[in-house]
Amino acid sequence: IFGGMENASAIFYFENSVTGKGGIEDLLAHEIAHQWFGDMASEKSFAHLWLSEGFATYFTNIYWHHKFGKEAFQKRLQKERVEVIEFVKKNDRPVVDSLSPYMDLLNANSYQKGGWVLHMLRNEVGDSIFHKIIQTYYGQYKGSNADTRDLQRVAEKVSGKNLKWFFDQWLYRPGIPQLLIDRDIDKDEVKLRITQKGVKFDFPLEIGILRTDGSSLKETILVNSQMIEYKIKVPDVKSVIIDPDTKLLYSEIKK
């Protein structure tokens, strides 16, 4: 612990104000995560700062999940999502950013969006593959330096999936999905029209459908074009919840 805090004490105090959460426990968890990511396996250049800060942010959330449960974990993700939404309104730089000076990279792109990218990678490949990716990445780069494409290569090798599109859209392009969602809910049918108002992203969008008898179901919509129309017949629909399990980094635009 002290090694990490010692060699990064300026960062330590700075991050308390960046992350803005005020608590000492999440700051400690963040610094302990840096024992693995940031100190032992660090980024090749500041453009890839999220490999330290996004990892420390997300691993703090995972610690929160273990200690305080799923709801507390999702609350943190929701708060961080709001911080990213606010940040990207005023900033159209990608997370991997070689143009901004170092101090300007201590921002919600490197921290909160970087953390969210790991969360979405985890949802893309599943828990056990995600853990294997992190272990392999750490094993391969501890004591040395990696960049974002190195992490991508590890993730692709371990998962057996092509993830270039994922890394490109979330890390090498600015912004997040800006969704206009028209809801047309009948008693026995749900119709949604999802329009991406900004740059097109590809992502699974989960919806929760609540029924009048108190039961519920979840469906996943693959959004891969600028506009998608989705409908499903379900008896006795009461309401629809978008992204019920906090899996997607997006903002919803109201008409």
Nearest distance from C-beta of residue 30 to Zn ion, angstroms: 5
Site string for Zn ion, 176-215 (x = CB under 5 A): ----------------------------------------
Rounded alpha-carbon distances, angstroms, from residue 176 to 66, 100, 203, 209, 249: 28, 19, 11, 25, 7
The answer to whether 47 contacts Zn ion (rule: CB under 5 A) is no
- For Zn ion, which stretch binds (CB under 5 A), given 10-18, 73-81, 140-148, 232-240? 10-18
Q: Compare residues 43 and 53 and give the one whose CB is closer to Zn ion.
A: 53
The answer to whether 56 contacts Zn ion (rule: CB under 5 A) is yes
Please state, in angstroms and rounded to a whole number, the distance separating the CA atoms of residues 178 and 66.
31
Q: Compare residues 26 and 53 and give the one whose CB is closer to Zn ion.
A: 53
Alpha helices in the chain (DSSP H): 2-7, 9-19, 24-36, 50-68, 70-90, 114-125, 127-141, 148-159, 164-167
Nearest distance from C-beta of residue 60 to Zn ion, angstroms: 9
The answer to whether 105 contacts Zn ion (rule: CB under 5 A) is no
71, two tokens:
């709801």
How far the first Cα of the chain sits from its last, in Å, is 49
Nearest distance from C-beta of residue 31 to Zn ion, angstroms: 7
- For Zn ion, which stretch binds (CB under 5 A), given 42-50, 56-64, 152-160, 227-235? 56-64
The answer to whether 133 contacts Zn ion (rule: CB under 5 A) is no
Q: Specify the 3-state DSSP secondary structure of 183.
A: strand
> Quick one: DSSP state of residue 253?
P
Q: Residue with CB nearest Zn ion?
A: 56
CB 203 within 8 A of CB 235: no
Positions that interact with Zn ion (CB under 5 A): 15, 53, 56
